[in-house]
Structure 1
């Protein structure tokens, strides 16, 4: 599974919440910045704008798109344009080494900020003032850390920080950016992901390839909406996957290629929505390559059979049976037909009193590992 490099934010991205279609201000139009470094910035009329100007916050105000990309800018002088009316600001493909704190703090209505392909070493702390920011693209810079204030961007849905020098992410980022749907931090120097990342319950895409990851967070089961996970090309660093990866009930594409993984967790045999699995470039022993070559269905059956046959320790099986049932990976009804009960509210079984009761003698036979993990129930087509 290969991703295309996504440096630029689409110019056609929808900007919800505007009362009129945003007028595009090109770099040669009304973003009057004076002159700096012997550069002259021309001012002209706004395309399609009516006579007179409106103050930001006025009813019926027009939110604007400002494009200053590809101008080889070294600095950003103070603009005369009211920054409060900008909904998208594109500063990509320049030579900027910093973004002024005062400028960022005044972008109160910006929803899309694109500064990819510059020479930025850090983001301004005032980025935390951008309460309406939904898309942030800082890819292709020299950024070594993200400011903690980024956690105040509560509306953020997409963060692209590919091709930087990040060695860590803010520890509590997962507790704060609860609307985040896409996180791309590939091609950095990350050794670990914060444990709070498992609390990003709205996350659909997580791309952490081409880093130095030693491990993944243990509690991945909370990522209930995750559809695409790419942890490939961490090479000699990533040697194993957490057992909870089998609880990622929405994952469709999983790429773990080119690592040092020798064994896939048996729980991956229960990833009922998984359609594409990439494991090449690993010294896999379990499943063996002859099974891998037969395709995804064979891999899932192998892992399920292995779980069934008792290769797991009894204590690990006991602790994970409850979680697998709780999160809907297993059904627990007599026919164990998962396909007919995919829609679960809260992932709590209504047929039985509690998950803790699964370990009682009353339910031991009904929920034995051999019955729960039977490939005849889960992988029949």
Structure 2
């Protein structure tokens, strides 16, 4: 081949092929090598014919073969096994899809499809089909020919009924049929439920049957769970239904690990008698009034218990039966006091109490975080009122303490500082902390300092006097624009709260806080998560909501192996990196209130595990 011919061939690889749409030849070339093609979010209204013929047509760059160029050996290409067409505007798929028989993954979610072609049944190797968030009204009968199919996601469509072919998918493990339309006041879920006794779903079943206003109240007891499809079920999602009661045999799902029953009409906790593997129970937005001993005895293995937005007025002492519990969310209930036994639950890392009329516990104690709240509850459990009185009298005599320090208006009692090992100088609207407080705090070896709701322009340098004892520091609601590097001297800190200030960065000296477990930087001016945060190996809770954060470093988050709760709500994140789904250590990831388009609110509302799985599915390999 001449030099001129070779130069022409090089230029050809940058030219758009005929009928190729906006797909660059280099993308198709890479797909032939990897067997994977990601065309998501490209504004496609139809699938270019070059995609269907990717393994048939001779590519342009390989039409002139020479012994000098062995890189483009198109005859050794890999068959396409993964095709992602998500988040486009595709309205129709042609029968040409059968030209990709090696496909194992086909992702069509978030398009404008109204039907799927019968030729879909030719994809006999297909294992995962995601056609959610479309306008599908029916399914092809050939669906039953996909004998290898394990995951079928059809939620958020307009499907009137499922075809008989679904019952022939013997290897199906995951099935989501959210928003299955109800017709003529008949519950379509109940109609097809019993038909498919040959199904054997191992992992996930999800449904939502939206009822009309005139439809009769639905009871989940009409469904039943004794049939074979649900014997090995691990995840059941019945969120956003009108369920008033649950069937008794729900408790027979011995393999069930996750149960989502949010946004229903349940008035009592389900009795999960034989669900010995249950790990997560989500019952938010129902009408629960109380928890009974019988109910708690059945869920002793649960690690996440979501009871938010109910009508619970009291948590029983028997909550201590849940010794594996790591997260308890009882926000927006009617709870005025907590059982002291919560302080003895060693694995409990997060208690969410927002929106409750707490009367027996001071607000500043609740604001200190879960660890300090547990310490307080445990101390109240260990001491009777008489014990406290005797201890107070003895300490006053031995220390000779009486009266108020820092002036009568401030009202800081020296005895209180010694007895509680806490210096509370919050809500004073002061521009500085009186100097005579610090010797008392140093002598008392205080482990908690609360300076919230003042007018402090900088952190007091006297804090360094407490470097050997201080474990908790609250500096929220002040006028801080930065943190003095001396903060790095407080190496014993377990909790640092600097919310509601004007801080835009953190000093590198924070890397010395290797024991820090909880960091609150919400309501500040951060445009990114400070890089020093990614070096805090013990961090478990990071609250960074209501800032101006634009990007998230998934590798940095993944490196925080102990991080269980990350709150990035109400920031300016335009893109959520799919690699964030690899951060499987997260038990709570909150992203609401950001301007990104994907994931959609429907995905966010399903909880952290579903969100992480969604993100992992979008990773381009």
TM, length-normalised to structure 1: 0.60
Counterpart position of 1:170: 247
Partners of 2:144 and 2:165 within 8 A in 1:
no
Per the alignment, in what secondary structure is the counterpart of residue 172 of structure 1? helix
Pick aligned residue for 1:82 from 136, 145, 151: 145
Pick aligned residue for 1:107 from 137, 148, 169: 169
Counterpart position of 1:16: none
CA distance in 1, matches of 2:301, 2:161: 35
Counterpart position of 1:275: 349
Per the alignment, in what secondary structure is the counterpart of residue 79 of structure 1? helix
Pick aligned residue for 1:73 from 126, 136, 143: 136
Q: Is 1:131 equivalent to 2:184 in the alignment?
A: no
Counterpart position of 1:287: 361
**Aligned positions of 1:248-267 closer than 5 A:** 248-267=322-341
Per the alignment, in what secondary structure is the counterpart of residue 292 of structure 1? helix
Q: After superposition, give the CA deviation of every residue in 1:292-329 in whole Å (9 maximum; x if it has no partner).
A: 23332332233334433469xxxxxxxxxxxxxxxxxx
Q: Is 1:45 equivalent to 2:98 in the alignment?
A: yes
CA distance in 2, matches of 1:185, 1:275: 23
Per the alignment, in what secondary structure is the counterpart of residue 293 of structure 2? coil
Change (3 A) 1:300 1:67: closer
Change (3 A) 1:48 1:212: same
Where do 5+ consecutive residues of structure 2 fail to align?
A: 1-78, 86-91, 104-123, 212-216, 386-514, 516-621
Per the alignment, in what secondary structure is the counterpart of residue 148 of structure 1? coil
CA distance in 2, matches of 1:150, 1:46: 41
Change (3 A) 1:108 1:71: same
CA distance in 2, matches of 1:269, 1:283: 20
Counterpart position of 2:232: 155
Counterpart position of 1:116: 178
CA distance in 2, matches of 1:47, 1:290: 62
CA distance in 1, matches of 2:242, 2:335: 25
Pick aligned residue for 2:155 from 77, 81, 92: 92
CA distance in 2, matches of 1:177, 1:25: 35
Structural RMSD (CA): 3.4
Is the helix fraction higher in 1 or 2?
2
Q: CA deviation at 1:282?
A: 0.9
| Higher RCO by CA contacts (8 Å cutoff, separation 6 or greater) | 1
CA distance in 2, matches of 1:164, 1:22: 39
CA distance in 2, matches of 1:62, 1:181: 29
Counterpart position of 1:213: 288
Counterpart position of 1:183: 259
TM, length-normalised to structure 2: 0.38
CA distance in 1, matches of 2:83, 2:381: 60
CA distance in 1, matches of 2:168, 2:276: 31
Counterpart position of 1:204: 279
Q: CA deviation at 1:233?
A: 0.9
Q: Is 1:302 equivalent to 2:376 in the alignment?
A: yes
Partners of 1:194 and 1:217 within 8 A in 2:
no
CA distance in 1, matches of 2:284, 2:99: 42
* Aligned length, in residue pairs: 266
Where do 5+ consecutive residues of structure 1 fail to align?
A: 1-20, 28-38, 51-60, 312-380
Counterpart position of 1:244: 318
Per the alignment, in what secondary structure is the counterpart of residue 298 of structure 1? helix
